[in-house]
Amino acid sequence: MTDALLIAEGDRPPAGGELLLHADLHNHTRLSDGAGRAEEAFASMRAAGLDVAAITDHAYGPSEPDKTIDDEGWIRLGKLADAADEPGAFVAVRGFEWSSTSLGHMNVWGGDRWVEPVPPDTAAIPAFYEWLAAGDELIGFNHPGREPGRFGLFRYDPRLARRLVALEMFNRDEDYLFEGVTARAHAGSAAGQLSPLVACLDAGWRVGLAGVTDEHREGWGFHEGLGRTGLWAPSRSRDGVRAAMLGRRMFATRERGLRVDARLDGTAMGGLSGYRRRIGEIELDFAAPDEWRGHPLRLQVLQRGEPVPAVVSEHDFRVSAGPLRLRTPIEEGDWVVLRITDPARPADPRAEPLPGYRSAGLAVAYLSPFFISPRR
């Protein structure tokens, strides 16, 4: 694990007074390969009840000339985002999706420039990282593991550690914990791969966890059962969203209207804990629309494992108005992730051979990791 400075105190939203913002950070329009007009996208997402929306059209470059944004489209998208942005009411963000069919796709948010991949593939990631290092944009790994190159096997660059803020756990209706993981991998065969969550965190990245629709259709924000992100931000503004993402104050879900946050031994979700304990104390803040009240759910405590994170403990609870407090074993390791599931709904089929996952049912939410610094 690379011991890198990750989250400076100045990056964190102030304690208390945070707003929960419902966000969709990954969407497409006709400016690249989407079906809908860019002029309609932000208004659609606002009407659907989102607080934060980003359009991140593809930057493929010459390899996919009919699927890529260009300079004219980039300028147009910036004007649309500025016109839609209303501090205090709705946050509109311009971004782009750096897109390599072999190495993977990465979102870039909040800058005034864009770039396309350069051939050959062996040079693409280093060249992109050099470009990113010269700016101040925020960055995320998209649908991790879908493309075989896996971002140069999650190639680590300490210059980007602070600003590479997100890993998509839900993209559309898919759970990316299991992407590339097979039964043969669990049995020890080299044919499978590590879970993207394990591979990313073990490469040294300390990312928050996001859910996105990756919408290519019209009707942005209105389609059910697709990923979205909860952001705990100091304000409903672009600066507030940036602070929340830099602080990894986010959770991934596919459900509307959830409120999710947690502390581990007093450290907030997304935070850096300076010590280790055999028994950790978790305080979970989970709230949902009225129709969820009394519904049984399960909290899983995940740490490093192969090919998927090890489930070090599980705790059944029912949705209620109050916070859940519990104690859990904490093993040696660099990170802890909380996963909330619904045992009444069938698990992802890829979970079938994986201990601790089949019986847990369908994933409802992933909370950003708690990062554990080395013992002093």
The pLDDT value given to residue 332: 86
DSSP label at residue 86: B
pLDDT at residue 186 tops 80: no
Token code pair at residue 165: 């803020």
Which amino acid would we find at residue 307? P
Instruction: Tell the residue number behind the tokens 């998509």, with chain if given.
Output: 168
Q: Would you call 140 helix, strand, or coil by DSSP? A: strand
Q: Would you call 306 helix, strand, or coil by DSSP? A: coil
Tens digits of residue pLDDT in 3-33: 333 344 445 555 568 999 999 999 999 999 9
| 262 vs 375, higher pLDDT | 262
pLDDT at residue 191 tops 90: no
Report in angstroms the alpha-carbon separations of 286 from 210, 251, 354, 367: 17, 11, 26, 11
Is the CB of residue 284 less than 8 Å from the CB of residue 262?
yes
The Cα–Cα gap between 76 and 74 comes to 5
pLDDT band, residue 183 (cuts 50/70/90): very low
Q: Would you call 271 helix, strand, or coil by DSSP? A: coil
Average pLDDT over residues 191-206: 91
Q: Strand 138-141 to strand 164-171: parallel, antiparallel, or no bridges (unpaired)? A: parallel
Number of continuous H segments (helices) and E segments (strands) in the chain: 7, 20
The pLDDT value given to residue 16: 63
For 214-266, the DSSP string reads: -B-SSSTTT-TT--EEEEEESSSSHHHHHHHHHTT-EEEESSTT-EEEEEETT
Ordered domains of the chain (ranges, CATH)? 9-258 (3.20.20.140), 262-372 (2.60.40)
DSSP label at residue 159: G
Tens digits of residue pLDDT in 321-365: 788 999 999 988 999 999 999 999 999 999 988 989 999 999 999
Tens digits of residue pLDDT in 290-324: 999 999 999 999 999 999 999 999 999 999 878 89
Token code pair at residue 262: 């947690």
Average pLDDT over residues 35-49: 98
Calculated CA dihedral for residues 176, 179, 181, 182, nearest 10 degrees:
120
pLDDT at residue 55 tops 60: yes
Is the bond preceding residue 349 a cis peptide, omega within 30 degrees? no
pLDDT band, residue 123 (cuts 50/70/90): confident
Least confident range from 89-98, 251-260, 327-336, 363-372: namely 327-336
The pLDDT value given to residue 14: 52
Is the CB of residue 356 less than 8 Å from the CB of residue 296?
no
The Cα–Cα gap between 124 and 324 comes to 46
Which amino acid would we find at residue 249? R
Q: In this structure, how many other beta carbons lie within 10 angstroms of the beta carbon of residue 126?
A: 13
Q: In this structure, how many other beta carbons lie within 10 angstroms of the beta carbon of residue 322?
A: 8
User: Average pLDDT of the chain?
Assistant: 91
Please state the pTM of the whole predicted model.
0.94
Is the CB of residue 241 less than 8 Å from the CB of residue 21?
yes
Q: Which helix (H) or strand (E) holds 362?
A: strand 362-367
Distance separating the N- and C-terminal Cα atoms of the chain: 16
CA–chain centroid gap for 110, Å, is: 16
